A and B are shown apart, each in its own frame.
Chain A
Amino acid sequence: MRNFTRVAAVMALATPAVLGFVGIAEAQDKFKLGMAVGGNTCCEWMKAQGDVARAIAEQNGWDYVELSNNNDPATALKNAQIFVQEGVDAVIQFNGQPSSNPAISAVMKQAGIPIVTYDIADPGMYFVGIDNLGAGIAGGEALGQIIKEKWNCEPDLVISSEGAGAGIVNEWRTGGMRTGVKNICPDIPDEKYVSFEGSGDAAVALQPARDLLAANPNAVKMAVVGINDGGVLGLINAAEQLGRADEVIGWGQDGAFITGDNVNPHLVGSVFYFLEGYAVYAVRDVIKPVADGNTPPLKADAGDPASKVQPCPVTAEQAKGVPDMPERVTQLLAAPAGTTAYDLFCPNKG
């Protein structure tokens, strides 16, 4: 009897330990995804990127660790080191301050952890992002069609609202838009193409836009392109203030001001990126293969990316049918696995 009691006591005490060990073993077998969101409070989409990644990880039964880069390169590097300590199996990041990307790549490479980067390429990271040049050309061609229909390809000015702080992305988008316009209206003289530094901010762009308009007092038929909707709106607002907005048309990028109740009638179109849904592409083309043991070859170049996010040019009228971001996130997560935001919401697929 005493022996039986002893055996029962040992079994009772050992059971939790055994269960614990089993749990740890299971956890160690479970794929763990790390996500470093951009952390810039300017932009709701950065948080949404994390929300979508988390939901997809849960759908796949993965463990998930999310950190914020706080829009700071040192924090992004520290987060990479934390991911290594956490023993993640793959990482996705958006690092808006890419100066630390080479160091992050080195950390991940040493740890043998594949890392996906959104929109800003680094040689050591899988690139998943919008084709900014393609988005620019698509927007420019759409605007070029309007210039052709409205003005017979004879605008007084084609104005670019630049955002030099964005580096190569600015060149791709605004340069791409000018290329797109030229594709449709090749005979517009070069001197009709002018630009100003709008910093991608409607309020900041206002004064330089007014100055540019004042320096071109005879221009009436004006087409505006820009690094984003805000930069384009800066010129449109300036034209309104100078009493010259009657024949101004603008085509933006990023879709920030083409939806909602406050759409300026001179903003005739934009290009949606559906930034919040990047994780669908990243998981489909990189993370899931890694989790399945089929790590794909590294594709780090924006021109030949691991996964290319499709831009969606829309007119203002078409944009009315696109839901706002919170609703898009909800619908995206309810859709079958692998369905992209482009598939769900772009009225101009194909």
Chain B
Amino acid sequence: MSVNQALDTAPAAAPLKVRFGGLGTGLILAAVWIALIVATGLYRPDFFAQQTLLAVAFTMSIVGVLAIGQGIIGMSGSFIDLSQPAGLIGASLVAVRLSEAGLPFPIVILGAILTGMLWGGFNALIIVFAKLNPVIVTLATNFIGLAALYLVFQLAQVPLNSDIYVFGRQSWLGLPAIFWPMLALVLIVGFLAPRTRYGRRMIAVGGNRAAAKARGISLRATRFATFIIAGGFVGFAAVLFAGTAGPFNPSSANTLQLNIIAGVILAGISLSGGRGNFWMLLLSIGFLSTIPTSLVFFGLSSDTQSIFQGIILIIAVSIDGYRALRRTP
């Protein structure tokens, strides 16, 4: 097919610039979040305390960084990365071992990030060269990764009073120290995504593969870069996880997936690619992180959290499906 034929027959390309719309999404998220906070505060006025802020901010931190990686995967049209738990634990284990070896904290961070990137590259190799569905591949590699991790270790923990341990317990300006890197990353990625060549290519590939290819964008190279970069965020999240989790085992991160995926979808980042606003993650993850804390203030058991999370995920996936339908000509 010639370039002209491709351009003639391809559906309209997604705009290269991410719309800052999603304003409607943001307003709805903010409204729901505020409503939840107000309702909880009316029921229990001690909800408005620094302890609550700390608890919610801690929960937001690790999930937020992982959601950036998940958002990159979604926006690039690779739908979803189900291998984040294995990647997170693997990189956390590297962080633990480097800490045990007494290496400086920056080296620990670098080691974890590189491990995450390697993990992302491993997924990308299979997806790109075997041309397999990313969802199936990452589901399989998660199983493989967790099984392999169980062969390597059963429990791991950073040394008490190591730099990473202390970092996980510090606070700055009234919020956890681990919150600030998450906030910075969300803001930076949200700013850079539509303004850098890689970001625009990622969005173009997610929005319309045929048109992106016609423009000369290498789908293979973009996909590779996407998974590696997303893996890097998993690696950084592993530093936050290892610093705060205490003793962990290979299965310790399995429960995070639900909130990450729901957070990405609620933020308006399309899992089928091409649209979304990373800044909205602050609202979606914030809202989702407040729910379990609110439930405890209402005196509800932790079992009810799963019910609410499941309902929210169904709503989120329905919204994403509805948006996809609306875009289909």
Contacts and interface: CB of A to CB of B under 8 A. Distances in A.
Given A203-B253, A215-B297, A241 B157 contact: no
B315 interface: no
A47 to B, nearest CB: 10
B55 A42 contact: no
A262 interface: yes
A212 B244 contact: no
B33 interface: no
B55 A242 contact: yes
A97 to B, nearest CB: 16
Interface stretch (B22-30, B148-156, B194-202, B268-276): B148-156
B247 A208 contact: no
A117 interface: no
Nearest to A207: B59
B169 A203 contact: no
B133 interface: no
A213 interface: yes
A62 interface: no
B171 interface: yes
Interface residues of A, number: 36
A237 interface: yes
A215 B296 contact: yes
B176 interface: yes
A27 interface: no
A211 B292 contact: yes
A96 to B, nearest CB: 14
A195 B209 CA distance: 51
Interface in B98-126: none
Given A207-B59, A264-B160, A42 B249 contact: yes
B101 to A, nearest CB: 14
A233 interface: yes
Contact of A241 (B160, B241, B244, B249): B244
A214 interface: yes
Contacts of A213: 51, 55
A333 interface: no
Contact of A204 (B52, B147, B252): B252
Interface in B235-253: 241, 244-249, 251-253
A262 B156 CA distance: 10
A263 to B, nearest CB: 8
B154 A41 contact: yes
A210 B55 contact: yes
A261 B55 CA distance: 28
Given A197-B303, A241-B176, A206 B52 contact: no
B296 A214 contact: yes
Interface in B10-66: 44, 46, 49, 51-52, 54-55, 58-59
25 contacts: A196-B296, A201-B249, A202-B246, A203-B248, A203-B253, A204-B255, A208-B292, A208-B296, A208-B302, A210-B54, A211-B293, A213-B55, A214-B54, A214-B297, A215-B293, A217-B46, A230-B247, A241-B54, A241-B169, A241-B176, A256-B247, A257-B247, A261-B159, A262-B157, A264-B246
Given A203-B246, A206-B244, 4 more contacts: A42-B251, A217-B49, A241-B54, A243-B54
Complex A-B, nearest 10 residue pairs according to Cβ-Cβ distance, in ascending order: A203-B252, A41-B150, A203-B245, A214-B55, A202-B246, A203-B248, A197-B302, A210-B55, A237-B246, A211-B296
